[in-house]
Chains A and B, each alone.
Chain A
Amino acid sequence: MSYELDELVVAALARELPDDTRAFNGAVSFVPVCAFMLARATHAPNLTWVAGSIAVDPQPSEIPESTLASTIWDGATMLQSSVADFWAYAQSGRLNSFCFRGAQMDAYGNVNNTVIGSYDAPKIRLPGGGGMADLGCLVPRIYLWSTTHDPRTFVERLDFRSGLGWGDGGDHRERLGLAGGPVVCVTNLAVLDFHPESKRMRIKSVHPGVSVDDVQAATGFELVVEGDVPETAPPTAEEVDLIRRLDPTGARKREFA
């Protein structure tokens, strides 16, 4: 069955999510929302997704222009009405998974969604970190994604660290007293994970038609490459069919402009 790149990325992210995932999403998170719904419909029936950090276990018939919008709450078992609900569970570990993307990401999975250029006189003022600065610290399983794998996005040095990944690498998170860290980064070219010691990004698999050299050339820092890098398995016919039914208007494609 033929598939589109957005479906490959959604399926690749979904497969990384284990059955005990208790995830929530923030703004402009079309790919993660699709991945949560796909994982829940396939290998991870116990995956619990809290839409917009508000609506517990929803069953929306489509994904609106905002992943914080109320229409994504349809079918929820609870609307968490105050910050006391959501933030308490995000801090206690009951909720354990969150997805980030940034205008810039570095080798340790730290992200920038604040400014390009200097903070005081930015070349581009971005929306801001929102909950990134919080959730990168508080949530033990961070999944990164990007639909623009290029040297402008994947940079040696962030202009601003809005969200914490593995920090300066090594045991930096541990020294800060923070659990877990980024698990993988799924992009339009590859799936990347993190070297267990250095915590630098490592190529886990390359998408069909993409070489290791292509991925390195599209990355502004040196990636860890170990042994023969496998190819990312393309989405199955079942996965493609499910994605198209779960996101019938193709909201996920907004991220692949």
Chain B
Amino acid sequence: MRVREDKRVALGDAAALVPEGSTLAVGGLSLNCSPAAFCRELVRAGTRDLELLAVVNGMATDWLIGGGCVRRLIMGLTSFEGFGLAPNFRRAAQTGAVEVEEWSEHTLICALQAATAGVPYMPTRAGLGTDMPALHPHRTWEMLDERTGIRFLACAALKPDIAVVHVHEADRLGNARMNPKLVWFDTELVKAARTVIVTAERIVDTDSFRAAPERTAFPSYAVDYVVEAPRGAWPTACWPEYDYDGDFYRAYQAAARDPEGFAAFFAEHVGPLATGATA
């Protein structure tokens, strides 16, 4: 008898799932639940030329930029919030080392939903009257619906090649759940992307999903690879199992003030800091 496919990939082999030049979407919300361990693997593997989509993110984005992995960043917000501005992001944006394509939370969700639905664009009233649509006029443009007279912004479909999100538990088939089911943008990323990678605190038996199917966040058929990554969201939070690591955010910011020392700090905690990242 044939057995069902085992979608597990070791964390150490996971970077190979992301080809150079990919459009990679990473999940999480600010200090919550980014797939940080996975992003660290990309830095260590020296992955280059990514188009990174991170809607509201901080540390994982800053790691990937510091590691020289990112060519273009598509984002709504990149910040460490109470811990300050993300230093590699800020520097790379100011020097032009990374092209920053700023959208907004809802227009990005619309673009992902258009990709999911297979329609050319999604209409929204968000973004009207701001300077944001003109930053990418080929992807967001104002339209007037002649039947109703309603003005709206058209958000062109944006389909990530790969989405990676972090969850509490997954099985070898790709079923994934959060405890509780707190997925925020991650659902939109998972639905839209061509390839979906889930990193999980723990791998559990499929029977554990059958015992509580109402708690499953992503079904097996929506997930292509499963990577076991205990504390894989660190230093962001994986609520309610662990909180964000405020000490690490503070140490990172302190280290970033000294360009020479920062390379050593970054190497110790993340991976090699790209040449020119501290210029």
Contact = CB atoms under 8 A, between A and B. Distances in A.
Contacts of A164: 128-130
Among A70, A91, A114, A119, the most chain B Cβ lie within 10 Å of the Cβ of A70
A172 interface: yes
B77 A129 contact: yes
A125 B79 CA distance: 11
A130 B81 contact: no
A68 B32 contact: yes
Given A71-B243, A125-B89, A173-B129, A133 B107 contact: yes
A137 B81 contact: no
Interface string A106-131: 00000000100001111111111111
B82 A134 contact: no
Interface string B70-100: 0000011111011101100110011010001
A128 B239 CA distance: 25
B216 interface: no
Nearest to A163: B130
Size range of the chain A interface in the assembly: 35 or more
Contact of B105 (A28, A134, A176): A134
A29 B240 CA distance: 22
A30 B82 CA distance: 9
A2 interface: no
A124 B94 contact: yes
A173 to B, nearest CB: 7
Interface core residue of B75, B94, B240 (most chain A CB under 10 Å): B94
B180 interface: yes
The CB with the most chain A CB atoms within 10 A, among B78, B104, B109, B244, is that of B104
Nearest to A120: B96
Contacts of B240: 70
A123 B94 contact: yes
Contacts, number: 168
A160 interface: yes
Interface residues of B, number: 57
Contact of A66 (B102, B150, B185, B244): B244
B182 A68 contact: no
B254 interface: no
Nearest to A136: B130
Given A83-B187, A119-B135, A130-B105, 18 more contacts: A52-B29, A65-B81, A65-B82, A65-B246, A68-B31, A70-B243, A79-B182, A81-B180, A82-B184, A83-B185, A125-B85, A125-B100, A137-B130, A138-B125, A162-B130, A164-B130, A173-B129, A176-B128
Interface of B: 29-32, 56, 75-79, 81-83, 85-86, 89-90, 93-94, 96, 100, 102-107, 109, 124-132, 135, 149-151, 178, 180-185, 187-188, 237, 239-240, 243-244, 246, 249
15 contacts: A54-B184, A65-B246, A70-B240, A83-B188, A87-B106, A91-B125, A124-B90, A124-B94, A127-B78, A128-B79, A129-B76, A131-B77, A137-B128, A137-B130, A138-B126
Interface of A: 27-28, 30, 52, 54, 64-71, 73, 79, 81-84, 87, 91, 114, 119-138, 160-164, 167, 172-173, 176-178, 251, 254
